[in-house]
Chain A
């Protein structure tokens, strides 16, 4: 049986297959393209290790010595420590809120019938069409009025609000394929809905929630526009905002700039390397809906 299929397959490969040299050519082109795509990033990391003289003299070469103290200096000079803590804190809070509210809303939407259900779904879909930047001015005015400007809540709440639709739809799609038996049994056993949510729904939807968490982490950690408009206090600035001072050109110390960028990007790159498939599929799906 197996030999038969294998032979069948090898025949097919011969029929549709591409000649060897074409495959080599194709892989070379692909490889070169991949390296070109990665090059700006690679270059950033290499430049981060150089001395300034080396950075100017030989921008394309590898560093002759690995100056780790560039990172130490960049960390101190740019005050990244505080910004990193702010980013961590804001990202963490927004993630907790997004996961909790996203799961709860998805659970209710998938298991209950109530008036206004279609309206709510429609509103969530509609929200994904709104260009985020067009809400900056009205949000600024509103935050100013309710005294939220220059607080971390000014970031956490909009982050959560704008991530909510994608979170709800990811969990909702996952829940529709989950049988309801367990929940019904729990209900018969006298469990309340809150209990079902915390003891059954949250654990069961963990795979979907992890996708939501990864996407949310990338979005919140990298956000620039909201932070730019809502945060002015240097003590509250998140990483992208504190890095943007390097863009204004006041710093001519390019290796320190590169070192700072390299450090700030490391968390998202690590998360990406760990969860490649989830990141790629999730972001592609989010783009289609968004």
Chain B
């Protein structure tokens, strides 16, 4: 009996700090943002209830949709940039010699840098006067291609997608390497026996074996795009003329610059809903593919 109470006390008091910290700082904010989304509130004074006003305002705001579109650009760039490059590298880096380990470690390196550092380095690379990119174009005689890379609304978003791709190839590479190493060697032998090699083996044996991992990386590209806030803040802060605005930076700019906490809460809630829809949608798509 005594051990029973001791056990209970230990479980209760052992979990209490974790549960409190976790609930207060992770779970409660989600519901609070949904709640405050219904109010007009400047941070001081009375919050005024206004129903779905904030939500309809956001959904009627062109910049909100532009941000969503830019988020989708990041998703597209990630899916068609990060995933193929990581997969190709993984196929070439299966041996684990010192040289291959060096390549792998290099590809992963940007992951340990602060996004502020990454943002400033790439802003300097893109700098119209002193930037490396324009300098390089001058060197190879393509001076007329020079541009103010981040001030041209038509291309700014794609230029920002490049450091995002560069930054996040590492984890995908590691995931693909793990998936490739779990393919039983009998499969390789069987494929060789059947005379399959090179591209054909890749398409008919290797890719189907790691298809699950590919699907996981695509989901990660989607959820990862919602996290790209720091880089935008440092490099363009959403400009020029909202051309590089992402949902997260839209939320930040329409909250903390103009003190509209109710509106910001509504946008936060919309971001959570969008991310859940995207994740659920991609899960659903995958399940259907599994059934067939």
Q: Which of B3-11, B60-68, B73-81 contacts A (4 or more CB under 8 A)?
A: B3-11
Q: B58 to nearest A CB, angstroms? A: 13
User: B residues within 8 A CB of A284?
Assistant: 170-171, 174-175, 178
The size bracket of the interface on A is 35 or more
Q: Kindly supply a per-residue 1/0 record for chain A positions 90-108, scoring 1 wherever the CB is within 8 Å of any chain B CB and 0 otherwise.
A: 0000000100011011011
Q: In the assembly, what is the distance between CA of A28 and CA of B268, in Å?
A: 47
Name A47's closest neighbour in chain B (CB-CB): B124
A21-39 interface mask toward B, CB cutoff 8 Å, 1 = contact, 0 = none? 0000011011101110110
The answer for the CA separation of A276 and B106 in the assembled complex, in Å, is 10
Q: Say whether B103 faces chain A, with CB atoms less than 8 Å apart.
A: yes
Complex formed: what's the CA distance from A134 to B249 in Å?
10
Contact B22 A127 (CB under 8 A): yes
Please tell me if B190 contacts chain A, counting CB pairs below 8 Å.
no
Kindly state whether residue A68 has any CB partner on chain B within 8 Å.
Answer: no
Kindly provide the distance from the CB of B195 to the nearest chain A CB, expressed in whole angstroms: 11
Q: Is the interface of A mostly helix, strand, loop or mixed?
A: helix
Interface flag for A194 (CB, 8 Å): yes
A243 touches B117 (CB 8 A): yes
Q: Are B268 and A34 in contact (CB under 8 A)?
A: no
The interface residues of chain B lying within 8 Å CB-to-CB of A164 are 18, 21-22, 26
Write the chain B residue with the least CB distance to A257: B120
Interface flag for B158 (CB, 8 Å):
no
Cβ of A175 under 8 Å from chain B: no
* B112 near A218: Cβ-Cβ < 8 Å: yes
A283-B171 contact given A131-B272, A222-B114, A254-B130, CB 8 Å threshold = yes
Contacts A130-B26, A131-B227, A192-B6 given: A244-B116 contact, CB under 8 Å? Answer: yes
Interface residue tally for chain B (C-beta within 8 Å): 90
Q: How many residue pairs between the two chains, A and B, have CB atoms under 8 Å in the bound complex?
A: 272
Instruction: Give the interface of B toward A (CB within 8 A).
Output: 6-8, 10-11, 14-15, 17-19, 21-22, 24-30, 32-33, 36, 43, 89, 92-93, 99-100, 102-117, 119-125, 130, 132, 135, 139, 166, 170-171, 174-175, 178, 188, 192, 197, 216, 220, 223, 226-227, 229-230, 233-235, 248, 251-252, 255-256, 261, 264-265, 267-269, 271-272, 275-276, 279
What 15 additional pairs, Cβ within 8 angstroms, besides A40-B166, A134-B30? Answer: A41-B109, A41-B113, A60-B135, A104-B15, A120-B19, A133-B268, A135-B26, A140-B256, A193-B10, A194-B10, A243-B120, A265-B113, A279-B108, A280-B105, A280-B171
Chain A: residues with CB nearer than 8 A to chain B? 15-16, 26-27, 29-31, 33-35, 37-38, 40-41, 43-44, 55-56, 59-60, 97, 101-102, 104-105, 107-108, 112, 114, 120, 123-124, 127, 129-142, 144, 157-158, 160-162, 164-165, 168, 192-194, 197, 218, 221-222, 224-225, 228-229, 239-241, 243-244, 246-247, 254, 257-258, 261, 264-265, 268-269, 271-272, 276, 279-281, 283-284, 287-288, 290
